[in-house]
Homo-oligomer: A and B are copies of this chain.
Amino acid sequence: MEAGKGESMRASDRAYRTLLTEIQDGLLPAGAVLGEVEQAARLGVSRTPLREALARLAADGLVVQQSPRVTVVSDVDADDIRALFEFRRALEEAAARLAATRADPAEFAELAAEFDRTSLRGEGREHYYDLIARFDAALDDAVDNIYLSSALRTIRTHLVRVRRLARENPARLSASVGEHALIAHAIAAKDADLAAHATHVHLHNALTNILASLAEARTEPGAA
A86 at the interface (CB under 8 A from B): yes
Q: Which residue of B has the minimal Cβ distance to A148?
A: B87
A52 at the interface (CB under 8 A from B): yes
Indicate if the CB atoms of B55 and A146 lie closer than 8 Å.
Answer: no
A48 at the interface (CB under 8 A from B): yes
A90 at the interface (CB under 8 A from B): yes
- Scan residues 11-25 of chain A and give those whose CB is less than 8 A from a CB of chain B: none
- What residues of chain B lie closer than 8 Å to A197, measured between beta carbons? none
Q: Mark A85-107, 1 if CB is under 8 A from B, else 0.
A: 01101110110001000000000
A145 at the interface (CB under 8 A from B): yes
Indicate if the CB atoms of A86 and B98 lie closer than 8 Å.
Answer: yes
Q: Tell me which of A61, A98, A151 has the highest count of chain B C-beta atoms within 10 A of its own C-beta.
A: A151
- Majority DSSP secondary structure for residues of A touching B: helix
> Known contacts A48-B48, A52-B52, A55-B56: does B147 contact A61 (CB below 8 Å)?
yes
> Number of A residues whose C-beta is below 8 Å from B?
26
Indicate if the CB atoms of B87 and A151 lie closer than 8 Å.
Answer: yes
> Which residues in A have some Cβ–Cβ distance to B below 8 Å?
48, 51-52, 55-56, 59, 61, 83-84, 86-87, 89-91, 93-94, 98, 144-148, 150-151, 154-155
Question: Can you identify 24 A-B contacts, CB atoms within 8 angstroms?
Answer: A48-B48, A51-B52, A52-B52, A52-B55, A55-B56, A59-B59, A61-B150, A83-B144, A83-B147, A84-B147, A86-B94, A86-B147, A86-B148, A87-B94, A87-B145, A87-B147, A89-B94, A90-B90, A90-B91, A90-B93, A90-B94, A91-B91, A147-B154, A151-B151
